[in-house]
A and B are shown apart, each in its own frame.
Chain A
Amino acid sequence: MTSLTIIRRIKARPEILFDLLVTADGISQWWGPDAGPVLLSESDPRAGGHYRLKFRTLSGVDCETTGEFLEVTRPERVRMTWRWVGDTDASLIEMVLRPIPEGTALTFTQSRLPDDATARGHEKGWNGSLDKLEALFR
């Protein structure tokens, strides 16, 4: 629960994927739960640069997400902070691209920000409950 990792093998070269991961045009096309309209997309993909994306889901809910790029190494690795506007919890997102014969292996990881002690405290409190919760659905 403290981190989420998703690995995808994608039939596209790392450069194509990388630009979709960090550019305003790229981000606006895939972030979000559905193909609802993008209201605003800004990105300054370099260490210290910020991004902002506002979209409306097909069910009509407006969502805004923002963060700062910590590392932008084309076409290998991106590290950035990520949070919903209006939410106090911030996350760290890391995306690592590795070339494979059929294209790219993308490893996506979302974790808690290390300095977010309060959030970590909450997380700790829930972890025990979560284990039990999960046991109930096994």
Chain B
Amino acid sequence: MTQAERLDRTFAVLSDATRRAILARLEREDGLSVSELARPHAIKLPAIMKHLDVLDDAGLIARSKEGRTVTVRLQPKPMREAMDWLRRYERFWNTSLDRLTALAETREAELRKAGK
């Protein structure tokens, strides 16, 4: 899967308020069980399971089974990639402005040395 395809998938998954709420909750309390996750939402467990399948397929969470309990954990990588994409201009310009600063300060120093 290309980076563009992964980004498409991450943003598509994030376009649903319930799924974002699930991720935000996991960010505060990582490692909740499925039933604990379902509790504050006014929707039924099967619907939550469906959202968890979508999040799992997109690599945003991982589920592990211990006995009868399924634990859900955040997987940060796709989200980082999405953030990097959103911040691409900031990175581009900060790097460029670093180079501009070095260049201008060198020229200024040269002019001063020449007594101008």
Residues of A at the B interface (CB closer than 8 Å) are 1, 4, 6, 8, 10-13, 16-17, 20-21, 29-35, 91, 103-104, 106, 108, 110, 125-126, 129-130, 132-137
Contact = CB atoms under 8 A, between A and B. Distances in A.
A106 B107 CA distance: 16
The dominant DSSP class at the B interface is helix
A48 B100 CA distance: 24
Interface of B: 11, 14-15, 20, 23-24, 27, 74, 79-80, 82-83, 86, 89-97, 99-101, 103-105, 107-108, 111
Contacts of B101: 8, 10
A135 B90 CA distance: 18
B31 to A, nearest CB: 15
Given A6-B93, A30-B99, A11 B108 contact: yes
A126 B111 CA distance: 47
A16 B27 CA distance: 48
Given A20-B103, A129-B15, A135-B24, A33 B92 contact: yes
Contacts of A135: 24, 27
